[in-house]
Structure 1
């Protein structure tokens, strides 16, 4: 019986702009420290609001915003982007959600990486992070993948493997099966898909392995190659799994997490109990009817940040912020880091938060 990692001790290897000016909030609890800033960010119905966290303040980047390092966060409807990766040329990034009390403590726990913005889709939540040992545990969700009139169900079984006597991250194990109106085809399994891309210190153009679910063919592509190639459905790269559709690639593939609604209630302790065998019934239970549910939203990849989807409590009647702390890295120097919490939304609708009220302070400043 295989666990979701080899052992819990394995280390993780892994443009429209608003003209409004942010101002201190006039309601709510005052900051508990002179270094805390309570700040209001109006988010327009269209376009983005850019924020620098150093003061903090709303900024209007000159020229192409993606080439500017004047901003750290960009708010657009119900999304928050960092100035990094696919969103900008800055040295930013973020990590979270962290426990809400982290903001008061002033010090974030050791984190394995700062997440850069990247294109992603249905598979972006396939893991849960254990900060005590820096390990990713797979959730064993079942995903639907659709390519034209063909569709498959896919389950990620593992993220770690042993090679030459040493543990290695981003060596994936997956199982999948084609699903048609006539029934489900045979289950196929791969245990050595190489998503290492040379490791976390390797160049960003190092190739990683991609998979065609129909033929089982495996190819290695750099990120640039993957964006122009139709010979794959899923690409595995470090801690992310890409779908060859929309921003992910030209093939028009879409996917959906059939168990996405469970994510918010899945504690780490729950996820850690799951195994290949215990979650096989969940995989076997998915058939044509489950993949044909009209409520499912099938998408290719789009741009995600560490905050995407997680900063919003979608169980609320109208959008509300999640009770959590976020660690955000400066886009300008890639060294300075800030802790922030979202206190509330004023005037939220189904499409946007209205005005976001947040608190921010440099990391290393405890509550007084």
Structure 2
């Protein structure tokens, strides 16, 4: 009996590092890090037909790349295009949710519209998607509680909130300097969670 106890104790001690490693690996899978939120300030959508933007890199993409998968969304005045359908060769698309950015925790797997002859995946016009035109102050104002879910050119999912349409994101609008997008976004993890 004494010999059996010694052998089992030795085996248990030898196996402990492996058990510990399994627990560590499992902890990392159960609690993935939250995706980082990126804020873009004053993206100028006023000077060219479209400003192309990569959500993956957080940078503008040259217009010469318009027919590539190097960009995810493009801005022209109040129009936002996705790299999909008639706008580009990507796997892009979008859905506009009536839900605040911070409350969107999962990206739907289906329901994304693409840009086409009938219109853009992110509809234009006051009250139709991310903005309203306020007649009292003659300004383009983001609609509170609206979040744009974007499928990127490579098929990843991101959530986007337009914060301001005016340079410097002023509280008092309008200003003479419009078509300057300030927005925040984050790309979902492999599990589709933000």
Bin the TM-score by the shorter chain.
Answer: 0.5 to 0.7
TM-score (norm 2): 0.65
Tell me, yes or no, if structure 1 residue 69 matches structure 2 residue 69. Answer: yes
Inter-CA distance 110–91: structure 2 relative to 1 (3 Å threshold): closer
> Given the alignment, which residue of 323, 336, 345 partners 2:165?
345
Inter-CA distance 339–109: structure 2 relative to 1 (3 Å threshold): closer
**8 Å contact from structure 2 (residues 94, 151) kept in 1:** yes
Cα distance in structure 2, aligned partners of 1:94 and 1:351: 30
Residue number in structure 2 paired with 1:318: 139
Question: Which 5+ residue runs of structure 2 have no aligned equivalent?
Answer: 1-33, 168-172
Inter-CA distance 312–351: structure 2 relative to 1 (3 Å threshold): farther
TM-score (norm 1): 0.36
Cα distance in structure 2, aligned partners of 1:89 and 1:351: 35
**8 Å contact from structure 1 (residues 45, 77) kept in 2:** no
SS in 1 for 2:139: coil
Residues paired across the two proteins, number: 146
Cα distance in structure 2, aligned partners of 1:311 and 1:354: 14
- Give the number of the structure whose residues are more often helix, by fraction: 2
Residue number in structure 2 paired with 1:327: 149
Query: Which string of whole-angstrom CA distances, capped at 9 and with x for unpartnered residues, describes residues 238-297 of structure 1?
Result: xxxxxxxxxxxxxxxxxxxxxxxxxxxxxxxxxxxxxxxxxxxxxxxxxxxxxxxxxxxx
Query: Which string of whole-angstrom CA distances, capped at 9 and with x for unpartnered residues, describes residues 337-356 of structure 1?
Result: 00110111224779984211
Question: Which 5+ residue runs of structure 1 have no aligned equivalent?
Answer: 1-32, 121-302
Tell me, yes or no, if structure 1 residue 358 matches structure 2 residue 183. Answer: yes
Question: What stretches of structure 1 move > 4 A for 4+ residues in a row?
Answer: 347-352
Residue number in structure 1 paired with 2:13: none
Rg (Cα) greater in structure: 2
Residue number in structure 1 paired with 2:51: 49
Cα distance in structure 1, aligned partners of 2:96 and 2:109: 9
Cα distance in structure 2, aligned partners of 1:109 and 1:98: 14
Q: What is the alpha-carbon root mean square deviation over aligned residues? A: 2.7
Residue number in structure 2 paired with 1:35: 36
SS in 2 for 1:328: strand
Query: Which string of whole-angstrom CA distances, capped at 9 and with x for unpartnered residues, describes residues 92-137 of structure 1?
Result: 001113301xx224524646421000122xxxxxxxxxxxxxxxxx
Query: Which string of whole-angstrom CA distances, capped at 9 and with x for unpartnered residues, describes residues 26-48 of structure 1?
Result: xxxxxxx7700110211124421
Matches within 5 A, 1:190-205: none
